[in-house]
Structure 1
């Protein structure tokens, strides 16, 4: 009993999280294999791996400024690849069936792709950041706070008012898990802005989560396209002819669209959620702390819904949305990453002093 009581809560929570993610991995693997087949699953996973090093490399470059621990990035990657995709596949299926049953086939599919899917997927991906912030051990009230509480109950009115001001204010941010890269600055006018490291950490965590989600989603779509192309080829020419690249036009088209043109689409969407949460946790402005996280989530949903709606506008409509919306947003994200790296590189390392400064 003493050994069990001395077990640390972070170790227990880490073990439970690993078991839950392993169960989601087995479940999502079975769900994808049902829709693609074994061969389609292997081909889809192989093709989905190709853009992964470039996206993770860019996020690792940005993480040099954010300094997010490896265990947190691995958790977000696994959450996006296993847990978020499991929730998204199940919830998207239920939402699609509900909308088709009540709105008709064409209108139900349109509403599902433009509204229900962004809402479900961005919420599932953004939940990884909230899980990281959950407290892993019980916080005990300090002796000074208990003393203030006793004074507030047993003292006269004037002393009760003084004790009320002495007690620390309880809010949502004070109850969350304190993380070094989401450290809140002092509430002063000169330091009301968020730290560049904090903003970079939010973008890195959101981007890594979306990178895992995009990998599993690409494996599903590419495996399904390969299975369809293989079946149509068998139906048309049979087994005797030698296969060519023209026999797999659907697979090539899907890979060009998802692996070459938009490998940073999902990381861009969820990076907005991470940025909003980072600003909300660290800013000293109360109104901004309340609006930043919901605004970031709504912006990610809106951008995701616009991207899904562009697929139904034809080739010219898709290229127009891609050139006027996605390219500028991606360029803004690149400029943000360069700005963060430049700001963090200017700051002196802790323990060093500037030239000409007086050391006491």
Structure 2
């Protein structure tokens, strides 16, 4: 039921404007000040709904209200998007971890053992980093990211690994016995802890690609890498042509496929393809992180071995006899095992993790994007567990595992690096035509990038 004038509370018709419903010959109303209640009601009557009570705004007046704390937390989190703030926080955190790990190593080795361990652990490091630098000419990872991964592996990952391995070893020994607990810890707990700690650096570097979708002005500034390749290429072209985009919201250059147009294999139209050069970035990031981790771990083991040899020599011979190389058999054995036979062991393990993460970020297949990263991490853990188990098999068992597992795995990684380097060189020489697959006689698949 409605009133005749159409102004009733049950009226179905829309309310008339104030100017149309006013009487023409009526006296003009007095002018009210802009901030008065009458002016506000006259302005909002019939044109917009009257706003209700602001519960959140009233709650913000309290200093310890949950909304106040949430806004403060989000404000501090938003400041981390600035590269200067995030870089400063990362440098301070890594420096603190470096001081802590130096203190932990010094407690187990002593001053002399620490200096000897650092000197011996530094010898194989230039060769491994040189090989990764050669591969980085294909991957084009920025220097700041390589330095972050190197510092993370040497400081943060080793700190987490030493503390977590100690807790896990004590727990397993208390519940499984001495021998069985140490075996389970070396073959299962240690690979799980160390590979997860090293892979966290790559996750921290690549996580902003998934969450930075909008800038502070509510304009779309970045794209998800998990989307299909066609929308990704259109978005990348739009990002390249936009002059006002913020640099920290752009996708990382070494995980952004370079698009070029080539003839369609069936003739006619042209389509864009991705240059195969992005999977090498995951290998470089994982390898550099593992180099830092292996450096600190080798310094710990070599310093501990030198301290034990020195104590054994003092107990058996004394200070009168001159030292010889036979007095430091444990140190020599540890250096040969870690510095000469397996300097690429940890980079090989972490390269599998980085390769899996790179595949999940660059492929156009959803099932492969979901499976690649966990598969790479599981393969790294399995290979690390096999390598740790080989130490308890004796000399013949160790050589068998070294020749049948480690050498073929390292050879496969070297072949991949050479293939990625050659593939990128061919693409650079012929930028207008995508490389053909000689076996199938057509262009490579959409998800194959190196």
TM-score normalised by structure 2 residue count: 0.67
Alignment of 1:42-121 (within 5 A): 42-121=115-194
3-state DSSP class of the match of 1:178? coil
Q: Is contact 2:359-2:372 (8 Å) kept?
A: yes
3-state DSSP class of the match of 1:50? coil
Deviations 1:202-248 (A, max 9, x none): 00000000000000000000000000000000000000000000000
3-state DSSP class of the match of 2:428? coil
In the other structure, the counterpart of 1:357 is none
In the other structure, the counterpart of 1:301 is 381
**Two-structure CA RMSD over aligned residues (Å):** 3.0
Answering whether residue 215 of structure 2 is matched by residue 140 of structure 1, we say: yes
**Which of these two proteins has the greater Rg computed from alpha carbons?**
2
In the other structure, the counterpart of 2:70 is none
Answering whether residue 280 of structure 2 is matched by residue 214 of structure 1, we say: no
- After superposition, the Cα gap between the structure-2 partners of 1:303 and 1:217, relative to the gap in structure 1 and judged at 3 Å, is same
Alignment of 1:144-183 (within 5 A): 178-183=251-256
- After superposition, the Cα gap between the structure-2 partners of 1:347 and 1:139, relative to the gap in structure 1 and judged at 3 Å, is same
- After superposition, the Cα gap between the structure-2 partners of 1:193 and 1:23, relative to the gap in structure 1 and judged at 3 Å, is farther
In the other structure, the counterpart of 2:104 is 31
Q: Is contact 1:100-1:109 (8 Å) kept?
A: yes
Unaligned 5+ residue runs, structure 1?
Answer: 146-167, 355-360
Q: Is contact 2:391-2:398 (8 Å) kept?
A: yes
Q: Is contact 1:56-1:211 (8 Å) kept?
A: yes
Q: Is contact 2:135-2:284 (8 Å) kept?
A: yes
Q: Is contact 2:275-2:427 (8 Å) kept?
A: no
Structure 1 Cα separation of the partners of residues 180 and 171 of structure 2: 12
- After superposition, the Cα gap between the structure-2 partners of 1:256 and 1:286, relative to the gap in structure 1 and judged at 3 Å, is same
Q: Is contact 2:257-2:278 (8 Å) kept?
A: no
Using the TM superposition, give the Cα deviation of residue 137 of structure 1 relative to its aligned residue in structure 2, in angstroms.
Answer: 6.7
Using the TM superposition, give the Cα deviation of residue 48 of structure 1 relative to its aligned residue in structure 2, in angstroms.
Answer: 0.2
- After superposition, the Cα gap between the structure-2 partners of 1:255 and 1:13, relative to the gap in structure 1 and judged at 3 Å, is same
Structure 1 Cα separation of the partners of residues 401 and 118 of structure 2: 28
Structure 1 Cα separation of the partners of residues 410 and 115 of structure 2: 30
Deviations 1:130-189 (A, max 9, x none): 1112339783388788xxxxxxxxxxxxxxxxxxxxxx9897999x97211112689xx9
347, 352, 359: which one aligns with 1:272? 352
Which sits farther off after the overlay, 337-346 or 219-228?
337-346
Answering whether residue 199 of structure 2 is matched by residue 199 of structure 1, we say: no
Structure 2 Cα separation of the partners of residues 51 and 202 of structure 1: 22
Q: Is contact 1:134-1:177 (8 Å) kept?
A: no
Q: Is contact 1:40-1:227 (8 Å) kept?
A: yes
Q: Is contact 2:225-2:361 (8 Å) kept?
A: no
The higher-RCO structure (CA 8 Å, 6+ apart) is 1
3-state DSSP class of the match of 2:277? helix
3-state DSSP class of the match of 2:318? coil
Structure 1 Cα separation of the partners of residues 414 and 272 of structure 2: 25
223, 238, 253: which one aligns with 2:318? 238
Deviations 1:52-73 (A, max 9, x none): 0000000000001111111100
- After superposition, the Cα gap between the structure-2 partners of 1:329 and 1:195, relative to the gap in structure 1 and judged at 3 Å, is farther
Q: Is contact 2:227-2:364 (8 Å) kept?
A: no
3-state DSSP class of the match of 1:197? coil
Using the TM superposition, give the Cα deviation of residue 26 of structure 1 relative to its aligned residue in structure 2, in angstroms.
Answer: 0.1
Q: Is contact 1:63-1:201 (8 Å) kept?
A: yes
In the other structure, the counterpart of 1:255 is 335
3-state DSSP class of the match of 1:348? helix
Q: Is contact 1:81-1:216 (8 Å) kept?
A: yes
Structure 2 Cα separation of the partners of residues 282 and 246 of structure 1: 53
Which sits farther off after the overlay, 176-185 or 96-105?
176-185
TM-score normalised by structure 1 residue count: 0.84
Structure 2 Cα separation of the partners of residues 203 and 36 of structure 1: 33
